[in-house]
Structures are given as C-alpha cells and as structure tokens.
Chain A
Amino acid sequence: MLIRKETCIGCGKCVPYCPMEAIIFHKKRKGKKERSFAEIDLSECVECSVCLRTGACPTDAIYEQELGWPRILRKAFSDPLYVHEGTDVPGRGTEEMKTNDVTGRYPDGYIGIGMELGRPGTGTRFRDAEELIKRLVKMGITLEPHNPLTQLIADAVTGELRREVLEEKVLSAIVEFTIPVEKAQEVFSVIRETATEIGTVFSLDLICKVAPNGDIPIIAEVEKAGLERSLNGKVNVGLGRPAFNG
C-alpha cells in the first residue's frame, strides 16, 4: 500500500486501522514550513488492504501499488479476499477440518496440527517459518501439500524455502501437517522447543475426528503433554455429503 503525499491531509485517521502498525505519522514540527502527513513503512506493511478497504482516509490518498514477485506473497498471506492458486480457498490455509466429513483428510487414529506463525497480530517473516519447517522435515514429517506455505519450499529434503521470499512479512502463515496419534508426544515436544527459539508467536491448532462413542482422542494427548487446550473450538457437524467412508 502507498499514500499519495500530495493528497494526504495529515489527519492521522488511517493510523489506528493498520494491524501491523506500519503507518507512520509525521507530525508538523513547530515553526517549520511543513505539514503533517502519513507514510507507509513498506518493510512492515503486509499488503492486507485494511487501510484501503475500511475507507479510513477522507481524501482517498491510500492506494495499492502493483505488486510483483515476491512482494505479492504479502498480499496472498495477509488479505483474506485473495484466493491462492492451487487451493482455490480464500485465506491463508486449506479446507482442513472444515470439510473432513467428505474428504476424510483426518481419519481415525490421526491428528491434524497447524502452527499459525504471526497469529495473533504480530505478523511473521518467512524466515521464521523456514526454521520451523526444517525441524519438522528432519523428523520425517510431511507437510500438507496444498498449503500455500508448503508450495514455497525449494528443497523438500532440507525444508529450505525459496531464498527470495525469506524477508517478506505477512500477517500469518500456517505450517500444516497430519500425524499418527502415536507420534503426538514427540511432535508436541518439538513444538515446545520451537517456541523458545522462534522470532514471532504462533497459535497452535489441534484437530481430530470424534470417535463413534463421542470420545475426542486428542484431549488425552494434549493433557499428557501438559499443553493448553481451549474450551471453545470448531466443530464439523457431519452434514457434508457424500459422507467419506474410508
């Protein structure tokens, strides 16, 4: 995003809308022949379009510049209305558990894990994601192939991402994978270690299919690991058809 300096009236109304605090307000200094104006810090801006779309600017001084590679990735991972090629899903992730009743992506005996880097509200650069991906790949974990972040991996053996994308900043990026329940404790241990080393925050997603008797197997695994588990969550209520019978 950019702000036309000649159109900006220096009211500062756009400043609080930016989730990344990337709008810098230059206040007129006393006794100087200058005026107040707002400017976007392009290193911190994630191209989410919030400042533009909310209509915060009374003079329409905010506009979106043409985004080339790799900067376009900022928009792809930050603007929820952007649809990723390959997933066809708006947003930064995949269908994950939302359609599990028809896709069977998380069968009995498996759990789905998502590590959402930069969420909530801090943002992340792809170099943070790379460190995490390298560790998981080393453990023999296969990342969800349709996730847009997985598609940035240059070397499937080491987990290295494409070099040119590493410094791009995005609102969040999700490392997604599925593991057998037996592997849960080992993976949770790595997640704990990663938490002490990573340069940003991540929100942890924990997914599993509900057993026919109503048991939710992941609860016992999370308790065993001493991890936190929310009281609220997402429930696929099984209305999708044709139902997956795997």
Chain B
Amino acid sequence: MTHTLHRAGTDRNLREDFIVFTMAAKTVNAKGSAGKMRKFFEILEKHDWVNCGDMKTGNILNCDRDTIYHGIQDTSIVHFVFRDKKEVGKILEELEAAQLGNSVVVSGLVEDINRQCKRAGLQMHTVEFSGGIHGRVELLPEKPVLEITTMCGHGMVASNLVRELVRQIKKGKKTLQEAGLELAKPCQCGVFNTKRAEALLEKFL
C-alpha cells in the first residue's frame, strides 16, 4: 500500500518530514532478506530519527527496539522517520556503500530527495506522486486536522483524537510532546512524524 504517500501539508511544513524504508520483492529477492533488513536497521538507527517500526511487529512506541529488530522477517517493511534532509543524504550514502540489495524507498519532498540521491551518487528509479483527493471531499475533516491524520497512511489516526488532544492541551492536561506521542501510537508502521505533529498541534492553540 502507498502508506507514506498522500501526507497533506504545505511546502513549508513538509520540509522536515522524510521516511526511509526497505522491503524485498516477494518474487525476486525476499528469500533470506531479513538479515539485510537488520543491517538496514543498524545503519539507520545510528542517525537522528523520530519514529520507527516494522509492519510485522509494530512501532517503537508500542514495542521496544529489540522486539522490532529481532522480529524482522523476509516479508518485513522496516521504516524510520527523519526531520533533516541532510541526514537522509548521509543514510543514502551509507546504504549505497553497503549494497544490501533490498529495495529502498524515501518519502518526502521529491526535489529534496532528488538532491540527496545525487549527493549519494544515486539516481531516482521510480517516483510516485499524489494526484489529490477526489469524490465527496465534503466528508473530509478540516485541513489542519488532515495534515496530522494523513501521517498514518493506513488511516489509523482518528480526526476526533486530534480534536480531543487539542482540547487536553488547551486545558493543560497534556503537553504538545505527549499529544504527539499519543497520536503516533495507533500508527503501527511507525511512519507517523511525532515532531511534525507537535508543530502542527501548536497551530491550534
């Protein structure tokens, strides 16, 4: 699924929102790929990430590092979220040098990713864009809410949870940081950017 696509936002508030993930192709190179994905995990965890997870085990907020790391399987999809495009560039350089052989996908502003690919000596292979939301758009929540909820492409983060947490922040029952973490819990893959969520929640206050 295109679970890291369709993140709503502006050029400005998407600048610090990158996901780097890996998976193997079932029909080509999946057999024995778990070890390569663990190596990928080891490379990325050394960098300044804000969230991570694997669709086989869950996100780092719901289970610990070792559960994710040791739970990696040939059919895993391992994700890390970053704020800094230069960090992504460094990771791509390391992955290029490591030649692990599993496919690697970066989500974020495409121009920024292109620059970081070139820096690492890579050329973008395939690109996927969002062509927008169509149909009964009157059913959608307000845009500031959508900018937060769409950080979980599987739709696990409820609009009403955003509204409830905004209420709790206003009442002083939760900090922005606590609210950002609470919103990330339902997103099992670990692709929800908690730091971006904090910044977006602040705009409600």
Which A residues contact B (CB, under 8 angstroms)? 15-19, 21, 48, 50, 53-54, 78, 80-81, 83, 87-103, 106, 112, 114, 116, 118-123, 171-172, 174, 191-192, 194-195, 198-210, 212, 214, 216, 218-219, 222, 227-242
Contact = CB atoms under 8 A, between A and B. Distances in A.
Q: Which of B7, B9, B154 has the most CB of A within 10 A?
A: B154
A122 B139 contact: yes
Interface of B: 1-9, 11, 14, 17, 23-29, 55-56, 58, 62, 75, 77, 92, 95-96, 99-111, 113-114, 117, 122-137, 139-141, 146, 149-150, 153-161, 163-164, 185-186, 188-189
A201 to B, nearest CB: 4
B137 to A, nearest CB: 6
B25 A238 contact: no
Given A19-B158, A81-B58, A237-B125, A200 B136 contact: yes
B26 A205 contact: no
19 contacts: A81-B188, A87-B26, A88-B75, A89-B75, A119-B153, A119-B155, A198-B135, A200-B139, A204-B131, A206-B131, A208-B126, A210-B123, A229-B130, A230-B132, A234-B105, A234-B127, A238-B126, A240-B29, A240-B104
A30 B202 CA distance: 37
Given A78-B155, A239-B103, 18 more contacts: A15-B160, A16-B161, A120-B146, A191-B134, A200-B136, A203-B5, A204-B130, A210-B127, A228-B131, A229-B130, A230-B130, A230-B132, A232-B14, A232-B110, A234-B5, A235-B127, A239-B102, A239-B122
B111 A231 contact: yes
A80 B79 CA distance: 14
A209 B126 contact: yes
Contacts of A81: 55-56, 58, 188
Given A16-B160, A174-B1, A101 B133 contact: no
A107 to B, nearest CB: 10
A49 to B, nearest CB: 9
A54 to B, nearest CB: 5
Contacts of B122: 237-239
Contact of B136 (A19, A21, A199): A199
Nearest to B25: A99
**Chain B contact residues: over half helix, strand or loop, or mixed?**
loop
B26 A214 contact: no
Given A97-B126, A106-B126, A198-B135, A242 B29 contact: yes
B125 A91 contact: no
Contacts of B105: 97-98, 234-237
Contacts of A214: 114, 123-124
Contacts of B103: 98-102, 236, 239-240
A100 B23 CA distance: 11
B196 to A, nearest CB: 12
Nearest to B3: A91
Contact of A235 (B14, B28, B106, B159): B106
B104 to A, nearest CB: 5
B128 A234 contact: yes
B107 A16 contact: no
A232 B127 contact: no
Contacts of B159: 19, 121
A205 B128 contact: yes
Contact of B28 (A99, A205, A210): A99
Contact of B186 (A17, A191, A194, A222): A17
B96 A239 contact: yes
Contacts of B23: 95, 98-99
